[in-house]
Chains A and B, each alone.
Chain A
């Protein structure tokens, strides 16, 4: 059968480890040709969700399906369409780049007639061609990740699940890695990618901000900022220290003031609060500039709200 609709579907997943709720009711869908980003800190439940999708872990409640096949009951069926790159992907350090690829081709039973073409394409994709005879153990962090991705793609899956593929990778290699992901999206794959880094949100078609096993927010990265309900301002100038001394320690529901390197970031519940604070600080040498909400602001607001809502 050919699946229409989303290639990945997760419905109300729950999973606990002893008393620790790793997943507390999360749902998501990923269509063909899209990148869905799971963004959240360590312990948010990202890996648990991915392991359930790969049929490696049984949920306590809820269901997960890839291309319309249940991840538990039809585990064998989904294997051929699913590529999974765990956080610590096991490359063989003593094997060369080409030998690692060949090993995974064997493992997935890739027909020998197709191997050459697939391998050539992956080498081109990943720009690992010049390093084909280098041992995997001798590759840089960024190149190792590209090789792991290539091994994950060896059986030409339709769905890719990548668990923090860019953690610890330097910024230049990260950009290159994301370029590859976008090309795969262009070829119609559905990608679910987790990351602890807010600045990678903008590279996804949809993001899900995950915290304590739940989705705090979801949507197009640009739309998340637009929906942000508070007023933000950036404050610069010599009066920064005094402003912090006056207001920084104040615990308030209506505003927060934090330092970010060379400026302060003020978040207010309303325009009138912003005006009041501007008035309170009017004697200080400070310039107020309006600011747009970033993913981090949205995340912090989400955590604040879920805590208010009497969360766990």
Chain B
């Protein structure tokens, strides 16, 4: 909820509360030998309508000293000082009004009569301030929890969107059409390899769709998908595409969001290897250590390569999904070193026995 909206609703509530407050004030102001009921009624109404002099500043002092994050001594001094100052101010306004009213013939002497009751008005101001403060703290807490709910909802929507995009990105049209073209070439050169490639492509699509439906997959499943993907790309790129894997055995049982690894490697092929006439190597290193899973994808690339379209979308998507799932507990780092392009991923190592 935004600041002005919150203030407005408080203003509305105050307007409703002003009348009973006026009544209460009239009741405490009236004395048999001092202010008459008429005096007390008029002054009570005037003080109630100017009561926002106290309740509005109270709102600000609540905002600048949030209940949970302010030391007790500061809370006490802030509010005590504010209560004194504001009550004094309010009383001053009351006096001015009484003074002005005393010029009305039937209310003559009201200011002198009011002066007898200053202590009680002052005390009422303090009480009123403290009431306002507690009311504001409650409503601030409500706002905060509402905001928290909204944010949680937004995050989950964003996560869902990123998942969907990842799925769409998986079935990358460029990859699909090029693979079909390779199959088309193989049908006359080597029909049995063409058939193998059809099967590979079928497996790849099936795995992608299957994994995409889950919220968590074993890392070994991701590796299976990667293997299919690489086999297909190897048909296309031939000797130009080389892969080097260093995968720690215990990392394979880790659980992670699906389709996280393959887009990273696809990125390395599309933006790295495909831009090199002689091709290059992709190095995949995965390690599980101290409760963290570290994934490194490193590839050679041509820093001066013609810009490919939709560059970096795959990486951004992976980053968004990590953020949605782990918040600050996971990181994706991209760095380049001459002709090496490196993506390092670090996330909590969750595995089935613990989950």
Q: A and B bound? A: no
